Structure 1
């Protein structure tokens, strides 16, 4: 790292409107980083090359260095400190949609094919996009550029999605996770297992309308259910699948799971149902729960499983390097290392409401219920199903859940039907 200089680098903040966001312009400040929003459809051919004295990072809006939010303020401060420590280097932040025509991966592919000079140096990337980008040769292996993250300091759930083709392509920085949020007054104790959910008449909701059945697939895998047989062919084990569908059926028969659960497509939908008191417990994003700060009325625990201690689906975001220039790679590696130091990563992930990837970062969270919850989550956290798994198994599981809840099909029959459907040519 270059010696810290008192020279503050002036950089322009440009907030260029997206198709759904009004235009805003801010006064240039020597202590800020340049920020540009992107249109949903990338205009690659009109993009300017990255200036030689700068590093360009692509973010989604969730991670934007926006000083009006606690997390955004912390990130802006951290990036500014890196600029000050590296005289002559400015940081340009470009915001991209998470998915879609103007999304991170789609824009990365388009820029690679049409205008390589418009590529970023560093990208904040989710696990599905990381896997796809690595397979397409769009990311630089980090081996030899940064210290390789290893357990026990780095949590397993954070590392499992960063490796591909024998190399690691991402340095994890935060994990979006899902929990069970519940109204404390409706339960004698925090629900920790299926039996606890079934023991109370309180309504429970999960995103059963998700056509890829991501939560059901995650629960099936958590029960030890295999997805491929010894010959590498897709399969289901009817025993754990029957167990899971029996839980759903029992909850429905007892009035805990209503047929209305199929209107919920995501954990955000079910969280909103809990907030509006349409349910007593619901699958919810940890970030939404932490932002609510209503500990007297709403609690959160790992998602109940067949037995304690529960489960926790995670989506880990990582820093990846794109630039092929060795000098810029060196500076980019310094930057992503700077952004994963515990003294920053701890407060930043706490402000984001996401799990940090390292034990020392979690130790930087303030003592209290949130830190205690996070400590319980990291012990059971596992990555969400991959894109391939969702596409192959998700729709069939969705049909099985519908058959049990809406069609009156027995769990045993639905599990067997799912296996036969999977084997069908």
Structure 2
């Protein structure tokens, strides 16, 4: 009997195991699995500003797949939404509004310098090389930096992601500023225009005779000793003269250049300009020279707001007024293609007319949209915005800027005639 039980015991244990297995599994599944607690999140750097104002009515997603994605934005210090300036408050409210519209996103703002080793452009280059995943989804860049970054393959074109620039509510200079070679790289939103500062409301025009100009005619100073040659480019292109030949190479034409240099030698231009190389030197010369008008950028004017002065277009040869335009531009640099539509959506949201009217005014910039500019009180600014040409591309400035600087100083100091200076300049281009 005992031996029979010993022989059957394994068989009976197997039967019992089979019978109780479903009950054991059911008991296991009735208790939740516990995982290790999530690691403590790394604190954001001091330059980061997370914006997480999720609406109360939206429940926090439980699943990892439903967690908000982080949309990273790089801005210069003057655009810092944490700033308690009017501009900072206006931008912060706008970003909060977007965050409420898109609870599936978490906006993270990082502030980068405009100049130096840690500038926006240098930071983009460094991140592209060392940590592509750290690239910002949306970044604000000045036009020269936008061009440099685009040509280095750091930015993504926005073609096919938005039709915003098809809207007629943009000033004429906007689309060229956003265009690099054969692609569109961003949405310009805050403009800076080259203008004439006058000490009175009287109109400044080219005298009908440069030999017998009125004594009370105020002369113009500008940074002639500067290889950017901004005024020269502005005046040269005022009548539609081109800066490229049929092969697309930088060039100048003899007749147009001679006319430009003759204008610089006229009584309307102060010879003092030959000694000035920076915008700061222009501003420094004005207090002691009340009879001088000056070529300045509108952003500098709005920061200083000198009393009893006005802005106007810049008079030129044959009374053709001119202005140049640069701008801050929203651009895409992120490594995730999935976030590009959201980044473009934010750029469009930050480029709407009503918002730009308030924000650019607080910043001391000009809006890029006509409907954002109060033309009833800013007739001169509207005229500037309508005639402004985009600043020349970098290769044009690099090839022609120094040549124009040398020719300009030569005629200002009356070392050579305009015709001779033009011929000498053209020889350098060949």
TM-score tier, shorter chain, comes to 0.7 to 0.9
Give me the CA root mean square deviation: 3.0
Structure 1's unaligned 5+ residue stretches are 1-11, 17-24, 33-50
Determine if contact 1:104/1:125 at 8 Å carries over to the other structure. yes
Q: Looking at CA atoms only, which structure, 1 or 2, has the larger radius of gyration? A: 2
**Against the structure 1 CA distance between its residues 223 and 96, is the aligned structure 2 distance closer, same or farther, given a 3 Å change threshold?**
same
CA positional deviation for 1:170: 0.5
State the TM-score, normalizing by the size of structure 1. Answer: 0.78
Deviations 1:63-116 (A, max 9, x none): 332533222221122112222322253322222233443222222122111111
Aligned to 2:237, the other structure's residue is in SS state helix
CA contact (8 A) 1:271 1:285 kept: no
Number of the residue aligned with 1:381: 388
Equivalent of residue 395 in structure 1, options 402, 405, 415:
402
Is contact 1:202–1:280 with CA below 8 Å preserved after alignment? yes
Q: Which moved more, 1:122-131 or 1:162-171?
A: 162-171
Whether contact under 8 Å (1:400, 1:414) holds in the other structure is yes
Post-superposition Cα deviations, 1:164-203, rounded to whole Å, max 9, x if no partner, equal 353311011111111101111xx7x221446599544434
Answer yes or no: is 1:311 the counterpart of 2:318.
no
Which of residues 355, 362, 365 in structure 2 aligns to 1:351? 362
Maintained 8 Å contact 1:171/1:318: yes
CA contact (8 A) 2:164 2:348 kept: no
In the other structure, the counterpart of 1:289 is: 301
In 2: Cα distance, 1:167 partner to 1:302 partner: 30
How far did 1:120 drift? 0.6
Matches for 1:20-419 after TM superposition, within 5 Å: 53-87=69-103, 89-150=105-166, 152-184=168-200, 189-193=202-206, 199=214, 200-251=216-267, 257-259=270-272, 261-275=273-287, 277=289, 280-293=292-305, 297-308=308-319, 310-362=321-373, 365=374, 367-368=376-377, 371-406=378-413, 408-419=415-426
Q: Distance in 1 between matches of 2:351 and 2:319?
A: 32
Separation of aligned partners in 1, 2:255 and 2:199: 32
TM-superposed CA distance for 1:290, in Å, is: 2.9
* Kept after mapping to 2: 8 A contact 1:194/1:247: no
Runs of 4 or more consecutive aligned structure 1 residues displaced over 6 Å after TM superposition: 28-32
Give, in angstroms, the shift of residue 313 of structure 1: 0.6
Contact 1:245 1:404 in 2 (8 A): yes
The Cα shift of 1:383 comes to 0.6
Distance change in 2, residues 1:326/1:225 (3 Å): closer
* Structure 2 CA distance for aligned equivalents of residues 106 and 173 of structure 1: 22
1:354 Cα deviation after fit: 2.3
Give TM-score scaled by structure 2 length.
0.78
Question: Is the 8 Å Cα contact of residues 316 and 383 (structure 1) preserved in structure 2?
Answer: no
Q: 1:209 to 1:403 in 2, by over 3 A?
A: same
Q: Which residue of 2 aligns with 1:6?
A: none
Question: Offset of 1:124 from its aligned partner?
Answer: 0.7
Change in 2 beyond 3 A, CA 1:14/1:203: farther
Q: Secondary structure at the match of 2:367?
A: coil
Cα offset for 1:222? Answer: 2.1
